[in-house]
Amino acid sequence: MLVLVAPGQGAQTPGFLTPWLDLPGVEDRLRAWSAAIDLDLVHYGTKADEDAIRDTAVAQPLLVAASLVSARQLFPTAEDFSRLVGAAAGHSVGELAAAALTGVLPEEAAMGLVRKRGLAMAEAAAVTETGMSALLGGEQEIVLPHLEKLGLTPANVNGAGQIVAAGTAEQLAALAEDKPEGTRKVVALKVAGAFHTQHMAPAVAALEAAVTELAVADPRTAYVSNKDGRVVSSGQDVVQRLVGQVANPVRWDRCMETFKELGVTAIIEVAPGGTLVGLAKRALPGVKTLALKTPDNLDAARELIAEHAAPAE
């Protein structure tokens, strides 16, 4: 069974969209979305520097756009996606790409919502200097109490020995000086706030207002939620989870457990892929993985789809 996943904030790098613009229709689609959300996705995906694309209000729409245009190279229609993909999920903002690909939201609506999400989270992040750091290695029963002692939130429990802590700059500085026993490294992430914590509460209210205007459908493909790793069959439930998830931890560890229970044999991570495939390699041994980093990876992805997708009879 094939699972498709979409990456979250921090996966972006300067110029990562450049090779995708050479593919037919991609630039036109990006420019149409850019006009609709008042953000030049082509500029930010090709010419902007690292600081510019770290901005939450820029990074989030950029990532969802990249996920959608790269996925459509493999699954040109919604019918292709539902026929060939067994389940889909996204990490944090990647959940909006997964919602569009599984049919919960039209792509244009997902782009409009992620623009509002990014702006609301950037505004919330500006109130206090906050951030996130990844802890590599260490056991949860040791790491989690240590974070609590420092006043930090385990914002992403990613599995495979990785937990992301979020909090104020002072709290993260204290963590860098005093990492939990068994943790190999603490790495500051390229994000502009303490996402998935109480610091994002103001953004929840903004999104609650935004989703009332959306036309929502039930997912046509199994949608696995960050909240608890559950498969969610109601489109309205998916959307409410998207809203609440802004201020609550991402449980990617539980998402991967659900992939295993569903019988996953292969995972493709859409552009800009790499992070989630890395976690899967450690947490799901034996599962084939592929990251769409550039269009050069598309042929290998198509081979993986042919081998592992299970068309409905």
Catalytic positions are 92, 196
Let me know if 123 is exposed, middle or buried by CB neighbors in 10 A (0-12, 13-18, 19+): middle
Are 165 and 175 in contact by the 8 Å Cβ rule? The answer is yes
Are 125 and 56 in contact by the 8 Å Cβ rule? The answer is yes
150 Cβ neighbours under 8 A, 6+ residues apart: 165, 167, 171, 174, 175, 178
Total residue length of the chain: 313
